[in-house]
Chains A and B, each alone.
Chain A
Amino acid sequence: MANVALQLSDVRKAFTGVQVLHGINLDLRAGEALGLVGENGAGKSTLMNIIGGVIAMDSGRMSLFGEPYDPRSPLSATELGIAFVHQELNLFANLTVAENLFIAGFPKTWFGAIDRRAMRRKASECIARFSLPVTPETKVESLSVGIRQMIEISRALMRNTRIMIFDEPTTSLSKREKEKLFKTINELKERGISIVYISHILEDVFRLCDRITVLRDGRIIATAPAADFSESQLIKSMVGREMTHLYPTVEKAIGSTVLLEASRISWQGIVKDVSLKIREGEIVGIYGLMGAGRTELAKVLFGVEQLDKGEVTMNGVKLARLSPEICIREQAAFITEDRFNEGLLSTKPVDDNLDLVKMADLQNRMGVVNVGERNRLNQQAIRDLQIKVSDSKRQLVNSLSGGNQQKVVFGKWVMKKPRILILDEPTRGVDVGAKFEIYTIILNLAKSGSAILIISSEIEELIGTCDRMLVMKHGVVTGDMPKSEFDREKILGLAL
């Protein structure tokens, strides 16, 4: 029996009533590389965060080399030998490479100052190992993301690590850098260090990993040696599921008028030359993995970020300047991905959130808000959307469940009867019941002639609601298919 480095038994986790992990059983052997694959929202990040000590599990047991393992913080996880290389880098741009490498514990001279010579020496070794085009004194702010990632990885490798978790490590690496990384990972394996490798680049997973485990909807679907899988089998297990969500069916017609048109949009190298057209009554979905540029595209379309190149046309009017105000005037609406920070005034009551967009229409000439009308509209929204709130005037929005919070966001925008609606992950963190209600709202809006753009990481959701689907990968559109051609594996393949 191979030496088990990390074992998980029946680990469960729920967020605000939504079960994200349903009893995970996993074991990681010493010196092996275990690939972890799954769609967005499958629970990969949550699982790794639990192992890395970022969040606590609700129930279950973990053991590290036979000892019970229950980290209270990322720091204690690190001390116990688990190194987690996140996707978002934990570097300090204003410090040098060497300083970043040793930020948690500098080599010191006898009277407490930093031993720069020792630091430079050790840093140089690290740099040489990866042949990085930097010196220990280079400031991190001048480096590309790819090189920064390598530094982050080398920092993790410096400690007395027994288990290393890599979360999408190669997204910004060049081919050469990737090879270096793989070589290093193999060396680590030889040293007996276990690796968990999370990536959506399946060919890398096949190349690097001894075993692969598939996570889907918070459950481990399969764990087997890499040789036992083919790529298509892997995709199938990642995607295949019974239809657990029912999607409302609504009779609607798609008109010929194009309400939203984006032409050759580019932004900061994250969105590259994207064009799309949405007609009245049409629901278009955009699928893609994290980092594909979908949210950035949405923000640029709505004027939250300023595009570098391209044009946006709404209702046939080419918009010379883009801002949320202007878009709202064109009867467009934008439900953001991050509702807590960008969609809601979390410490304010429900009423104050509901009227935020519609306010401008409720004023008379002096700027006074028509309170009666406002209350009527708010109450109507609460009824229509079945928002569960007892006292909308006093109850703060952050005391509501995720689903109800999202409904408040919907209520806010839908009150303006938008003709163009851009939705970014509209049902994230929302329970099943509320999800159905939200889909109904969306479909009814389309029925009344609105053009709708849905960005989502749930293929199911897009298949169930959209008329057409686009797939984005690395900032470009890789696929555009009508409903009749919807195929889960094909869609995922285009995104990977």
Chain B
Amino acid sequence: MRNPGENHERKVLWMLRDMPILPLLVGSFLLAIAFVPHFCTVYNLKNYLLQSADLLIISCGLTFVVLNGGIDFSVTSVLTLGSVLGAYIMALSPLAGSPALSIPVAILAMMAVGLLVGLVNGLSVTRLRMPSFVATLATQLIVLGLAVQFASLVSDTASIAGLPEAFFVLGGEGRYFFVPILIAFSVWLFSHWLLARTIFGKRVYAIGVNPKASFISGVPVKKTIVQLMIISGLFAGIASIVATARNQVGMPSLGDKMFLTTIASVIVGGTSTSGGFGGVGKTLLGVLFITLLNNAMNLLGVGWEVIMIVLGALIVVSAAGEYLLNHRQGRV
């Protein structure tokens, strides 16, 4: 008869093996508190949470795609296009004068952009049978080009400023600091609910492991793939709302560095790139870790170049580790 203490131990061990990121995260936090100057200030911690919020929203969307064994390179360019479009609507379009109208329209437009791009990606993968990494690579270029082109057409300056102040609430301005965090958490909760409790989530996992067997068992494979691509795009659209609000301008350079941090969050968090294993819980940990890394390195004066190297190395190590842990032991 096992005593309850032992059972508890086994559970903890299993959790550690399943989510190696957890001790890494905790450890890094401790190191940061100890060695990184200005890390523990209220200002910095607020910043940290806000940065995580953006990243969490977009990474949740990407998680769906990676669970399917694919990837979506276009998420950050959706962020960019959304930002530019939304800013235009709120600052330069005929609606600019009336924030009560322009803000909701802009928000809808930004989400619509994500949705549309996701739809195109989904159809390219299911109807045209293009591998997701190429299809989304192509859409990324096209959308980015559109964003930059559009920005240069409507504005002389690089970024579009003059957004209504009410909009900044969504970005965590002043005492509304909790708003983006709330939004991010809601998105995360929704994703978790989708993946863990609904039939859609079950289908995503099933297809990720074995599309053929899922198909024969009646899972609507093509429809589900389109749906998860749309989710990825849509969430990127939502992220663009929050990011634009926080930066208070519409920036064509918004998504620039974000793709690497997004994919790193998902992979380092522990979701398998071959599909079928992982989830937004892991992605949350990954997001917290990557943002921590970013934040700490910025405080230490380390440039983006070094961060790129670290992230690249982390991705390789995580993917290799994931392969070793799971595939070698006959789990796959």
Contacts and interface: CB of A to CB of B under 8 A. Distances in A.
A369 B198 contact: yes
B129 interface: no
A359 B169 CA distance: 41
A352 B205 contact: yes
Interface string B175-206: 00000000000000000000001111011011
Interface stretch (A47-55, A86-94, A242-250, A343-351): A343-351
Contact of A357 (B210, B218, B277, B330): B218
A302 interface: yes
A301 to B, nearest CB: 12
A97 to B, nearest CB: 30
Contacts of A357: 217-218
Given A347-B331, A348-B276, A368 B197 contact: yes
Contacts of A368: 197-199
A325 B220 contact: yes
Contacts of A396: 331
Interface of A: 302, 304, 324-325, 327-328, 334, 336, 341-348, 352, 355-357, 359-360, 362-363, 366-369, 371, 396, 398, 412
A301 B112 CA distance: 41
Contacts of A371: 197
B interface, size bucket: 20 to 34
30 contacts: A304-B216, A324-B216, A325-B218, A341-B212, A342-B212, A342-B213, A343-B216, A344-B213, A345-B206, A345-B210, A346-B209, A346-B210, A347-B277, A347-B331, A348-B206, A348-B209, A348-B276, A352-B202, A352-B205, A356-B206, A356-B218, A357-B217, A359-B203, A360-B218, A363-B199, A366-B198, A367-B198, A369-B198, A369-B199, A412-B217
B219 interface: yes
A347 B276 contact: yes
B197 A347 contact: no
User: Which among A304, A341, A347, A398 has the greatest number of chain B C-beta atoms within 10 A?
Assistant: A347
Contacts of B219: 325, 356
B207 to A, nearest CB: 10
Contacts of B198: 363, 366-369
B218 A369 contact: no
Q: Which of B205, B218, B220, B331 counts the most A-chain CB atoms under 10 A from its CB?
A: B218
Nearest to B193: A368
B43 to A, nearest CB: 41
B304 interface: no
A367 B218 CA distance: 16
A40 to B, nearest CB: 23
B215 interface: yes
- A-B interface, 9 closest residue pairs, ranked by CB to CB distance from nearest: A328-B218, A367-B198, A356-B217, A345-B209, A363-B199, A347-B332, A357-B217, A325-B218, A324-B218
Given A345-B209, A345-B210, A369 B217 contact: no
Contacts of B124: none
A304 B199 contact: no
B214 interface: yes
Contacts of A342: 212-213, 216
Nearest to B197: A368
Contacts of B206: 345, 348, 352, 356
B324 to A, nearest CB: 15
B330 A398 contact: yes
Contacts of A355: 202
Q: Which of B200, B210, B214, B330 has the most CB of A within 10 A?
A: B210
A470 B328 CA distance: 45
Contacts of A334: 216
A327 B218 CA distance: 8
Contacts of B332: 347
B216 A336 contact: yes
A327 B203 CA distance: 18
Nearest to A367: B198
B331 A345 contact: no
A363 B198 CA distance: 7
A341 B199 contact: no
B210 A341 contact: yes
Contacts of B197: 368-369, 371
